[in-house]
């Protein structure tokens, strides 16, 4: 089976594209970092790939709101192509800023641009949070999270608080097993306390999947924990394996096409 081709999308301000491409290459994929202008010139280009990843960073400087401008571009110029991409049972991953883009463009949860059913807003702390977090896989069915129970990954964001339009929608997403990744730590009345939940997300949500299980957005950075030595306490952990927790997400994506 040929290696699945991975389109790692970048825009002005994206800063995790090379690390993300490296992660897919380590997992056995064939990544290519592509500027959004190439897609605007040739909207059919994504159909040459099996995996689309929108990596982390600060696309367009997070002007207006995090991920908003890139989300507008995808929605207005590439919506038809990306819907075809999804319908062909290919994979889409959004990491941090990429998660913000997927939500605000309507690619992850159906909704009109500017009226998304859920969004990512300012952290409760009111500042940028850069720390390691414990995570648990809270629902089955997501391709990227197959065989994973828990993860330890870093976050690095200022607008990572997941909120839904209303509590009914939150309950519906939970019932449909779409709230797939949650922050883990000390709780009061079901809410994980800061800093274990670094942004105050509703229901401690760190990642959301679409109903097919093939589109995932998450705030933590799996590409920053590919090897055991990436962890700040790696010398104390004496891990038998040399890979980090994040590597398995990329391996699962590549394995899906075997």
Q: Give the dihedral sign, CA 175/178/184/186.
A: negative
* Cβ–Cβ < 8 Å for 148, 180: no
In 3D space, the residue among 4, 46, 39, 10 whose CA is nearest the CA of residue 25 turns out to be 4
Q: What is the DSSP string of 31-48?
A: EEEEEHHHHHH-TTGGGG
Under 8 Å CB-to-CB from 96, ≥6 apart: which residues? 16, 55, 56, 57, 155, 156, 157, 160, 218, 219, 220, 221
Structure tokens at 26: 């380590």
Q: What are phi and psi of 196, to 5 degrees?
A: -60, -40
* Cβ–Cβ < 8 Å for 88, 52: no
Answer left, alpha or beta for residue 71, where phi above 0 means left and psi between -120 and 50 means alpha. Answer: alpha
Q: Looking at 142, 157, 223, 231, which residue is catalytic?
A: 223
* Residue 221 among the catalytic residues: yes
State CA 102 to chain mean position distance. Answer: 8
Neighbours of 121 (CB within 10 A): 17
* Cβ–Cβ < 8 Å for 217, 207: yes
* Cβ–Cβ < 8 Å for 137, 181: yes
Q: Looking at 16, 53, 96, 142, which residue is catalytic?
A: 96
* Cβ–Cβ < 8 Å for 20, 8: yes
Q: Catalytic positions, please?
A: 96, 221, 223
């Amino acid at each position: 089976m040929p290696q699945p081709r991975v389109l790692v999308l970048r825009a002005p301000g994206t800063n995790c594209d090379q690390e993300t491409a490296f992660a897919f290459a380590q997992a056995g994929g064939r990544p290519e970092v592509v500027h959004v202008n190439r897609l605007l010139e040739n909207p059919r280009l994504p159909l040459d790939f099996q995996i689309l990843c929108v990596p982390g960073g600060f696309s367009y400087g997070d002007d207006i709101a995090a991920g908003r401008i890139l989300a507008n571009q995808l929605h207005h110029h590439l919506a038809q192509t990306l819907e075809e991409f999804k319908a062909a049972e290919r994979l889409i991953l959004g990491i941090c800023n990429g998660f913000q883009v997927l939500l605000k463009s309507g690619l992850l949860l159906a909704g009109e641009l500017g009226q998304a059913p859920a969004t990512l807003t300012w952290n409760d702390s009111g500042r940028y949070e850069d720390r390691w977090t414990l995570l648990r896989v809270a629902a089955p069915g997501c391709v990227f999270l197959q065989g994973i129970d828990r993860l330890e990954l870093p976050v690095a964001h200022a607008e990572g608080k997941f909120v839904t339009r209303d509590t009914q929608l939150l309950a519906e997403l939970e019932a449909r097993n779409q709230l797939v990744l949650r922050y883990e730590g000390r709780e009061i009345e079901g809410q994980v306390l800061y800093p274990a939940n670094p942004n105050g997300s509703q229901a401690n949500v760190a990642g959301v999947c679409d109903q097919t299980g093939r589109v995932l957005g998450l705030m933590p950075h799996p590409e920053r924990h590919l090897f055991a030595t990436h962890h700040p306490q790696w010398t104390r952990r004496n891990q038998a394996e040399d890979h980090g927790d994040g590597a398995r997400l990329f391996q699962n994506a590549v394995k899906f096409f075997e």
